[in-house]
Chain A
Amino acid sequence: MDLTTFLIQLLNALQYGLLLFLVASGLTLIFGIMGIINLAHGSFYMMGAYMAFALTSATGNLFVAILLGIVLSALIGFLLEWGLFSRLYKRDHLDQVLLTYGLILMFEEIRSMIVGDDVHGVRIPEMLSASIQLSETLSYPVYRLFMSGVCIVLAVLMYWLIRHTRLGMMIRAGSSNREMVQSLGINIDLIYRLVFALGVTLAAFAGMLAAPVSSVYPGMGNQVLIICFVVVVIGGVGSVWGAFVAALLIGLADTFGKVIIPDFAGLTVYLLMAAVLLWRPEGIFRRI
């Protein structure tokens, strides 16, 4: 591998890692901070991608579609928490697994009924559709760089929200002692509803942003689900910063795994997870 190729692969790794962070960020909130095992996270991601497809076809503009999609998915998240999840906080994790697994099946079926089972594509907006020439034969799509930029901004915003705002403080306090926070006169139910809605919105947003490069197809959510859990577990349950570092590490492991040991490319990510968990059973960064 010469230097140019190495640098391009490094870029690939970082870009993939940032995208992973974006996809997993919602799960960091819902699973990491609220402590709900949410297997339907991938379905929210898929929902976002299909929204991007449907709304882009309807409005003709991806950015308008994303704005509408954000509103819609926040609403859906809010309703789901109100109708279903709020009843499960005190229950066993197994109940949460059952509920969210049921949601996966329902989301797939609803998708099939509304949009069908065909594969769809979403056009990259004109102003981001160019490519930058990196080497003699290879160029890099501007849209991917744009995605990376969005992921970095989002990571900073999330970190700021959780660590440096009053709302973040209440969320953190609520996750360690719900009753105490409630008795201090804070409406923890509403806060949790907002955080859950935010988590769903982030997952859907990831789906919308990734739709032009990943295309839109049945079962796409299940593909990202496991890797999202890996990100949260490696990073340390509940840590935004941890999830960020973990996503980048996974990006590196996956990309260079594919290049250096192609026969075991499917394993590298899980080997990394095993190694991290042996070294630090609670993940790289502990709970905030």
Chain B
Amino acid sequence: MSHEVNRRQFLISSAAVAAGLALPSAPLFAQGARKVRVGLMLPYTGTYAALGNAITNGFKLAVEQGGGKLGGSEVEYFTVDDESDAAKAPENANKLIKRDNVDVLVGTVHSGVALAMTRVAREAKALLIVPNAGADEITGPLCAPNIFRTSFSAWQPAYAMGNVMAERKHKNVVTLSWKYSFGEQSVAGFKEAFEKAGGKVVKELYLPFPNVEFQPYLTEIAALKPDAVFVFFAGGGAVKFVKDYAAAGLKSTIPLYGSGFLTDGTLEAQGEAAEGLLTTLHYADGLDIPKDKEFRAAYASAFKMQPDVYAVQGYDAAQLFATGLAAVKGDVGKRDELVKAMESATIDSPRGKFTLSKAHNPVQDIYLRKVEGKENKVVSVAAKALADPARGCRM
């Protein structure tokens, strides 16, 4: 046994020596191509820490799969924890753009922070890829040639749900959401599709964010007796709402629908209360897409956990930037060519292939999903190649 260990140690040490000898020569080869500087501005602490980590993992997985390179260029990371604090966002974004001189800024989860980043990036003409935040404005009034998004707009899943609920012959619907822009944009998207298809939103209920005392609203819903309810909630609020809705006995009499965040990353905590719920999102479990299977396997083996929609969005942010880098052979100075390659790219995403709209938001399939066990199983495509209307975008 000792013999084998010795031999192994010898092999390892000799390999290390060889690597050490090889190292000094590496810069000689790398001198021509400067490393691409990637600024990750994501939440690594607080409520959204898990989401920030998933996005980072997704991004790094794509780089790893490219042999440590992105579109043929070596990558150097600059990381800032945005703490989901909108007040600190301009300073953090400026730090990455001006001090670290990053070639691309990737962030973030929280819409308020992302809006501030978008404003800074527009001003500094810095390249920005938003890997989650769904605020409609980012690819609406604030759109710009240098602003991209690889996730979704609040409008998209909600609009798709409007059609689904109309098809399911619901006539009168009550909506409920937190009173903040993302919730209001979701309700607006839903209402637009649902009323166009002949349904009627009999009442829009809002509660102050982040209040989770739902009982008065459940009582009101029970009194209004609509055909169905559409909600937007996420995280801890979503868990409590789904449980309260079931405990109030409403689940069996008034069907509940929502944007996918209602049941994403929350199923373990929601338990049986979520079983059978229908939601819409641009990603789902059980997609019959080879790329998704390959992605899930690679992610699971690299990070010892299952990927989620956030990991997919981070992965696609890297893929999108890689397309641009490949087109200019790593020369980020050729901004126009880089942007052109990015906006005309077809991204081979685990969620299914997608292209970008004129306003740089994904034109993507929105899936109808049903909660089965601890998974959001895909039921059907609720909307094929759905493009955000990009209202207010002049580009």
Contacts and interface: CB of A to CB of B under 8 A. Distances in A.
A214 B240 contact: yes
Contacts of B254: 137
A117 B43 CA distance: 12
A213 B243 contact: yes
B266 A119 contact: yes
A112 B223 contact: no
A220 B236 CA distance: 8
Interface size class of B (residues with CB under 8 A): 35 or more
Interface string A249-266: 000001110110011011
B20 interface: no
A120 B216 contact: no
A183 to B, nearest CB: 48
Contacts of A13: 216
Interface stretch (B45-53, B192-200, B366-374): B45-53
B2 interface: no
Given A12-B219, A119-B269, A121-B270, A266 B208 contact: yes
B125 interface: no
Interface in B195-232: 205-208, 210-213, 215-220, 222-223, 225
A262 B175 CA distance: 13
Given A140-B248, A141-B248, A265-B206, 20 more contacts: A8-B222, A9-B219, A12-B215, A15-B215, A118-B265, A119-B235, A119-B238, A119-B269, A121-B269, A133-B249, A138-B248, A138-B249, A138-B250, A139-B247, A215-B236, A215-B240, A217-B47, A218-B49, A220-B236, A265-B208
A96 B217 CA distance: 38
B269 A216 contact: yes
Contacts of B179: 266
A139 B245 CA distance: 10
A217 B239 contact: yes
A218 B265 CA distance: 14
A126 interface: no
Q: Which 4 A-B pairs have the closest CB atoms?
A: A217-B236, A266-B208, A139-B249, A138-B222
Interface of A: 1-2, 5, 8-9, 12-13, 15-16, 108-109, 112, 116-121, 123, 131, 133, 135-141, 143, 213-220, 223, 254-256, 258-259, 262-263, 265-266
Contact of B47 (A117, A121, A216): A117
Nearest to B249: A139
A188 B89 CA distance: 48
Interface in B43-90: 45-50
B137 interface: no
Contact of A121 (B215, B249, B253, B271): B271
B244 interface: yes
Interface of B: 45-50, 179, 205-208, 210-213, 215-220, 222-223, 225, 235-236, 238-240, 243-244, 247-250, 253-254, 265-266, 268-271
Nearest to B234: A119
Contact of B243 (A112, A117, A215): A215
A137 B245 CA distance: 12
26 contacts: A12-B215, A112-B45, A117-B49, A118-B265, A118-B268, A118-B269, A119-B236, A120-B268, A121-B239, A121-B269, A133-B249, A135-B223, A136-B222, A138-B248, A138-B249, A214-B212, A215-B239, A217-B235, A217-B239, A217-B269, A220-B236, A223-B210, A255-B213, A259-B216, A265-B206, A266-B208
A45 to B, nearest CB: 14
Contacts of A213: 240, 243-244, 247
A256 B220 CA distance: 11
A116 B269 contact: no
B239 A254 contact: no
A271 to B, nearest CB: 13
B215 A255 contact: yes
A12 B215 CA distance: 6
A268 B284 CA distance: 40
B265 A9 contact: no
Contacts of B235: 119, 217
A120 to B, nearest CB: 5
Q: Identify which of B223, B235, B239, B269 gathers the most chain A CB atoms within 10 Å of its CB.
A: B223
Contact of A5 (B211, B219, B243): B219
Contacts of A16: 213, 215
